[in-house]
Amino acid sequence: MSLMEKFFLDRSSAQLVVVDVQEKLCVAMDPKVLEKLTKNISILLDSAAELGLPVITTEQYVKGLGETVPALKEKLPGKSLEKMTFSCCGGEGFMDALAANDRRQVILVGMETHVCVLQTALELLSAGYVVHLVCDAVMSRRKDNWKIALKSMAAAGAVLTSTESVLFQLLKVAGTDEFKKLSKLVR
């Protein structure tokens, strides 16, 4: 795999995975960090819709943790996949949904960074996917868990990135109608 194939997102190769941003889990999170996470995931969902990227969303144990927060749920293109496993990869239908999209780059966001996101990233990397972990769109209840998980995923081969980096890599050029519409989201 070339440097560009690993580190540079391409809209024809990328898909967005949103992990477990659920109502009852959000209650345990730092409100300021949660607000930033929700805003950044919202930007990525809007970008995915505009640029034609597939989106897969998961929800961990809905009976206990509730559904995806309304601010994000209204932007989802389809139904979330419910799971009991921490890794999305063990959830029913997840790997099939990924494979059906026929895209090898995964833009990964959600919570908690050191549990479900970490385990998902490791399994995706093991399965040959290129994982772009959006550091400002993942969170844990405690910052030390978040930091350790980022280090672990980077060591395993995930590309650490940010919401703006993802957006501008997918856009590639300024001046287009897409650029004019989506660049406003990060101003």
Report, as residue numbers or ranges, the catalytic residues: 20, 83, 116
DSSP state, residue 109: E
H or E stretch at 57: strand 55-60
Phi, psi for 176 (deg, rounded to 5): -80, 165
Please give the C-alpha separations between residue 136 and each of 51, 77, 119, 142, in angstroms, as whole numbers. 21, 22, 18, 14
127: tokens are 């399965």
Report the distance separating Cα 161 and Cα 175, nearest Å: 23
